[in-house]
């Protein structure tokens, strides 16, 4: 089955086509046929496409909305230039899987999209006003392009975290705020965390129930998740992706009382303060230079700048604190797993996070850590009681697999 995987954002549409089916899933033999993205939707868009064996292609064209972006992608896919021989016509695409940000308490796993499911995604709009509407536009664009008969599946970023118990997901705010407005911790990055936990247990030959790990997804957005017996039991992002770790431009945890202080002192509205916490904080806010960890590390190698050093230190310190907290919450774990752009590619950051976790049984193998970039590798010393791994994330594979499993009616996806 050729599955088109879509991630529709406010101004971008990312896509991949993955050939997979139940047998390929069992044999871990899925094939990525191509990938690409459309950026700056709404204006002169940049459309980047690539397939194995053909050079990356970048073109610009006016693209007014997600529907038009999908049209571009589909025209490229069905053309001779795509370099994807498996797809000659749109009939060679058999299903579509969507990344949907928020499934609230409604969706505990991925779902075949029916009128009822679509309504459910709409009902979650007030929980993710910036994201779910775009995901819905992606679903509607597929209906326009392929007709109602195309099977579509929603894979929710929040679903993996629906196993978190109430004592971990409730805030200590008046209970009626939860009852009336669904204000609680939901967590995000669920598909990524679920994928790396799955990959870890297949690499180690463990069952889901034997999987006790702390996953650290460190990219532009960052989150930590406590995975006990294969299930998420706590996660650092909350009602929104703002809570928890220090991120590229997000503050992560702050004292809630400083919000009105910032508003008063800086003359900002509550919405403007929230925007500040989402877009002007984290690595960017502390360093005053950039949210890009690669640049910060390069700068630090070139010269010692106090604010850049602080940005990196605060980032690593917060991540280490969460590891400690989750070790306590879970009663210990077998491994810490690093993933995401920073987690996969920045050995210095992994070393700084793990430095000081020797008490918990974790010592990095300095050489293996230094050499590991983007490949699944154990980086703790062989005698470390708490192991460390780097596992590249692959949300698209999981979305494609869930799409197949939902269509085939396979119970509880791995
Ligand atoms: P997103 O969360 O948007 O998917 P990514 O997972 O791609 O983002 O992560 C982006 C982050 O990863 C950026 O801060 C980038 O600087 C960082 N990164 C990528 N490669 C490296 C590297 N070699 N060294 C340090 N940081 C890196």
pLDDT in tens, 82-127: 889 999 999 999 999 999 999 999 999 999 999 999 999 999 998 8
In the annotation, is 157 catalytic?
Answer: yes
Whether residue 280 has pLDDT greater than 70? yes
Q: Which of 157, 282, 294 to mutate to test the pocket of ligand 1 (most atoms within 8 A of CB)?
A: 294
Q: Ligand 1 pocket by C-beta < 6 Å: which residues?
A: 219-221, 248, 292-294, 297, 340-342, 345-346
pLDDT at 10: 87
390 C-alpha to ligand 1 centroid (Å): 14
Residue 222 CA, closest ligand 1 atom number: 2
Look at residue 414 and tell me whether its pLDDT is greater than 70. no
Which positions ≥6 away from 9 have C-beta within 8 Å? Answer: 131, 134
In the predicted structure, residue 80 carries a pLDDT above the cut 90 = no
Q: How far is CA 357 from the centre of its chain?
A: 26
Buried b (16+ CB within 10 A) or exposed e, 269-284: eeeebeebbbeebbbb
Q: Which of 30, 157, 394, 402 is catalytic?
A: 157
Nearest CA to ligand 1 atom 26: 294
Query: Residue 413: is its pLDDT beyond 80?
Result: no
Query: Ligand 1 mean position to 24 CA, how many Å?
Result: 30
* Residues 60 and 49 sit within 8 Å (Cβ to Cβ): no
309 CA distance to ligand 1 middle (Å): 18
Among 293, 352, 369, the mutation site with the greatest number of ligand 1 atoms within 8 A of its Cβ is 293
Which residue among 219, 221, 283, 284 has the greatest number of ligand 1 atoms within 8 angstroms of its CB, and so is best to mutate? 219
Interatomic CA distance for residues 185 and 162, integer angstroms: 10
Q: Which residue blocks in 54-210 are alpha helix, DSSP H? A: 66-77, 115-123, 132-146, 166-169, 175-181, 190-204
The rounded distance, in Å, linking the Cα atoms of 246 and 317 is 9
Q: How far apart are CA 362 and CA 301, in angstroms?
A: 26
Mean pLDDT value of segment 354-365: 97
Quote the ligand 1 centre to 252 CA distance (angstroms). Answer: 17
The CA-based angle 113-106-228, given to 5 degrees, is 110
pLDDT at res. 230: 97
Closest CA to 37 of 2, 64, 9, 18: 9
Q: Which two tokens stand for residue 287?
A: 């360093």
CA 294 to chain centre: 19
């Amino acid at each position: 089955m050729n599955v088109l995987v879509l991630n529709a954002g406010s101004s971008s549409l990312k896509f991949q086509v993955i050939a997979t089916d139940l047998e390929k899933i069992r044999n871990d033999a899925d094939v990525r046929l191509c990938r690409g993205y459309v950026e700056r939707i709404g204006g002169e868009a940049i459309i980047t496409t690539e397939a194995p064996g053909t050079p990356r292609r970048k073109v610009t064209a006016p693209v007014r909305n997600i529907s038009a972006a999908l049209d571009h992608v589909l025209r490229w896919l069905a053309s001779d230039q795509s370099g994807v021989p498996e797809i000659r016509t749109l009939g060679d695409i058999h299903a579509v899987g969507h990344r949907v940000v928020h499934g609230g308490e409604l969706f505990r796993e991925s779902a075949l999209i029916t009128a009822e499911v679509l309504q459910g995604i709409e009902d979650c709009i007030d929980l993710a006003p910036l994201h779910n509407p775009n995901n819905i536009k992606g679903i509607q664009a597929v209906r326009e392009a392929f007709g109602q008969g195309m099977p579509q599946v929603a894979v929710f970023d929040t679903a993996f975290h629906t196993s978190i118990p109430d004592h971990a997901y409730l805030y200590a705010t008046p209970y009626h705020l939860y009852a009336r407005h669904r204000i609680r911790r939901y967590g995000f990055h669920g598909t990524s965390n679920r994928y790396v936990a799955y990959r870890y247990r297949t690499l180690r030959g463990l069952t889901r129930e034997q999987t006790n790990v702390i996953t650290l997804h460190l990219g532009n957005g960052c989150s930590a998740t406590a995975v006990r017996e294969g299930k998420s039991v706590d996660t650092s992002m909350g009602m929104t992706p703002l809570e928890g770790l220090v991120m590229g431009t997000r503050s992560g945890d702050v004292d809630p009382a400083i919000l009105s202080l910032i508003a008063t002192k800086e003359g900002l509205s509550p919405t403007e303060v929230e925007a500040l916490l989402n877009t002007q904080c984290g690595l960017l806010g502390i360093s005053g230079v950039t949210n890009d960890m690669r640049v910060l590390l390069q700068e630090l190698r070139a010269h010692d700048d106090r604010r850049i050093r602080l940005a990196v230190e605060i980032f690593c310190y917060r991540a280490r604190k969460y590891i400690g907290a989750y070790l306590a919450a879970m009663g210990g774990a077998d491994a810490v797993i690093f993933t995401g752009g920073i987690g996969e590619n920045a050995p210095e950051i992994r070393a700084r996070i793990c430095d000081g976790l020797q008490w918990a049984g974790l010592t990095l193998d300095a050489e293996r850590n230094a050499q590991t970039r983007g490949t699944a590798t154990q980086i703790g010393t062989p005698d470390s009681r708490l192991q460390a791994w780097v596992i590249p994330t692959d949300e698209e594979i999981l979305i494609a697999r869930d799409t197949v499993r939902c269509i085939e009616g396979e119970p509880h996806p791995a």
